Each structure stands twice: as C-alpha cells, then as structure tokens.
C-alpha cells in the first residue's frame, strides 16, 4: 500500500438530535469521498479511528454519524474535535486555490515588495477562516489565509506573498 498522510477534513460541531449525529464544519474539497459510508477517519489529537456510518445534508450543513457514537452524550464528547483522513502521499486538492497544510508549512513569506520576511510554521483552522502561523524574526504572527491578504501562493518557487497591511507582519508602528 502506498504511503499516506493525514489531512484535516473537518471539525465536529454540536450534536444534532438524540441519536449521535454531529454537524461537521468541512475542511475538504470532496466531502462525498471523505465522509462516504464506510470511510475511515481519525478524530481528535490522538487520532481516534472511527468509521463513517452515514453523512447527509440538512439545512445547509453536513450531518455525520460515526460508528460507536450512538447518542447525544457520546456526540457531545466529540464536539470541537478535528477530523482527519488518510490520503495518498503527494495527493493534491482538486479545487484551484486550495491547499493542504503540508503544502503551506515551510513556505517562505514575502512582503508586498518581494522581500523575504518570515516562514510559515503552522496552519490553524478556527471557525471563521484558516490562519497561517508565520515566524517573523522569532515572533509568531497570525495571518488570515484569504486572497485579499495572501494574494500569491507559489508552491513551485516555495513562497507566498502577504499584502502590505500595517500590523499584519509587524507591530504597525512604522506605518
């Protein structure tokens, strides 16, 4: 079997109903594959292996049923945990402009003038939008990963460019 890598595919939200269904906040380009009945996922920081029993759309959300999560109490215990899937090493997201964390971590960060100012050390996934964790001269900066603030991502050249916004990569004192 080919090597695989873990990729973040969602975050579990609140329970829905009494039978263990959970709302899932999607972080994947192909939920119909990642959450297909029978698919294996890993939940939480320890990567607890669970099997998808069912997934369905309801009122604009994806509801997920996981094996062994039979009631609201069990579902509530999983609330807020990340869901990971194993994908073949080297697989790329299908949708243009989307990236796996592993593609972004390690990229150089350039300012609007093209000067190297830091490096991406991690990617966070809070509910509002993804955040790039950028090391700028030993100081951790959080940069919202949106096109208006990160207009250029060049994987081949190994960098991304951040817009010239005071306080984004510095303390904004020189602005």
**DSSP letters along 41-83, please?**
EEETTTTEEEEEEEEEEETTEEEEEETT--SHHHHHTTTT-EE
> Which pLDDT score, from 0 to 100, does residue 35 have?
95
pLDDT band at 26 (very low <50, low <70, confident <90, very high): confident
- In angstroms, the CA 87 to CA 5 distance is 5
Window from 65-74, 90-99, 104-113 with minimum mean pLDDT? 90-99
CATH superfamily entry for domain 4-88: RimM (2.40.30.60)
Kindly state the average pLDDT of the residues 137-141: 93
Residue ranges covered by each domain of the chain: 4-88, 101-161
The first and second tokens of residue 57, run together, are 């759309």
Q: Is 31 helix (H, G, I), strand (E, B) or coil?
A: helix
101's enclosing H/E stretch is helix 101-104
> Which pLDDT score, from 0 to 100, does residue 173 have?
60
Matching fold, domains 4-88 and 101-161? no
Q: Which residue in this structure is represented by tokens 């996922």?
A: 41
For residue 71, pLDDT over 70 is answered with: yes
Measured in degrees and rounded to the nearest 5, phi and psi for residue 139 equal -110, 130
Window from 56-60, 133-137, 163-167, 169-173 with minimum mean pLDDT? 169-173
**What is the torsion angle, in degrees rounded to the nearest 10, for the CA atoms of residue 119, residue 155, residue 143 and residue 48?**
-90
For residues 33-55, one letter each, b for 16 or more C-beta atoms within 10 angstroms of the residue's C-beta and e for the rest, the string is ebbeeebebbbeeeeeebebbeb
The CATH number that domain 101-161 falls under is 2.30.30.240
């Amino acid at each position: 079997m080919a090597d695989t890598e873990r990729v973040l595919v969602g975050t579990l939200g609140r329970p829905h109903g009494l039978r263990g269904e959970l709302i899932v906040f999607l972080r994947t380009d192909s939920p119909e594959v990642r959450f297909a009945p029978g698919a294996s996922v890993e939940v939480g920081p320890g990567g607890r292996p669970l099997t998808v029993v069912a997934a369905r759309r309801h009122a604009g959300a994806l509801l997920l049923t996981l094996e062994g999560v039979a009631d609201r109490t069990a579902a509530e215990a999983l609330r807020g945990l990340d869901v990971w899937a194993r994908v073949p090493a080297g697989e790329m997201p299908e949708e243009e402009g989307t990236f796996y964390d592993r593609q972004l971590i390690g990229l150089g960060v350039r300012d609007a003038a093209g000067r190297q100012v830091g490096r991406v050390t991690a990617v966070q996934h809070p509910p509002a939008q993804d955040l790039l964790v950028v090391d700028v001269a030993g100081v951790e900066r959080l940069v919202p990963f949106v096109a208006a603030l990160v207009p250029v991502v060049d994987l081949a050249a190994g960098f991304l460019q951040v817009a010239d916004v005071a306080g984004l990569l510095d303390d904004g004192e020189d602005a």
